[in-house]
Structure 1
Amino acid sequence: MAVKIIIIRHVPPEKEPEIRPILLQMRSLAHAQNGYISGETLINFDNPLERIVISSWKSIENWNDWLNNKQRINYQAQVERRS
């Protein structure tokens, strides 16, 4: 069964130039992950600091594999250090 995952990120405007390339690398890595279907990033019109990421996966197992991917964990840690 396919699943959709929703992630909410808060990106300070002064940090966006640092964070954006990391998020793009993470997205590129996700595209190559087994079970990845699609993804989109939305910016909250009322709060432009808020990003909503919606990704679709073939199964919850595929999502969990991605969640535990060592490269993804490394990218996520880089984003958190800069946020």
Structure 2
Amino acid sequence: MIRVIIERQLKPDSFDEYATVIRKAKKEAARKTGFMGGELYFDLNDNDKIVIIAAWDTLENWELWDKSEERKVLTEELAPLMLNDETITILKSSR
């Protein structure tokens, strides 16, 4: 199992629009093989910094989603709401 950490710095006052898009993203991801769930967190020191922690069964299934047309479209919808590009960190649970 892997965890995918996605960090996004939103523009001020853009969370409501962001939330609409991210709900669509979670629904799309849930249809993909290997998606095990995801949670959204706010940085305690910066409410415009969003951290998503998603669980995937394998790196390969995450990569299929990451490269999918659905995610590309959703990422393009999110881009105007963010101050910079998202950062992604992939963690595995054991060696």
TM-score, scaled to structure 2: 0.80
Does structure 1 retain, via aligned residues, the 8 Å contact 2:5–2:52?
A: yes
**1:49 matched to which residue of 2?**
48
Matches of 1:39 and 1:19, distance apart in 2: 16
Q: 1:46 to 1:82 in 2, by over 3 A?
A: closer
Deviation at 1:82, TM superposition (A): 2.8
Matches of 2:57 and 2:48, distance apart in 1: 30
Root-mean-square deviation over aligned CA pairs: 1.1
Stretches of structure 2 that go unaligned for 5 or more consecutive residues are 83-95
Q: How many matched pairs?
A: 82
Deviation at 1:24, TM superposition (A): 0.7
Does structure 1 retain, via aligned residues, the 8 Å contact 2:34–2:61?
A: yes
> Which residue identity does 1:4 align to in structure 2?
R
Residues 21-47 of structure 1, C-alpha deviation per residue, up to 9 Å, x if partnerless?
111100111111110012111111111
> Which residue identity does 1:15 align to in structure 2?
S
Matches of 2:17 and 2:46, distance apart in 1: 20
Deviation at 1:12, TM superposition (A): 2.3
TM-score, scaled to structure 1: 0.90
Matches of 1:80 and 1:27, distance apart in 2: 17
% identity of equivalent residues: 20
Greater per-residue helix proportion:
1
Residues 49-80 of structure 1, C-alpha deviation per residue, up to 9 Å, x if partnerless?
11110011110000000001101110101100
Stretches of structure 1 that go unaligned for 5 or more consecutive residues are none
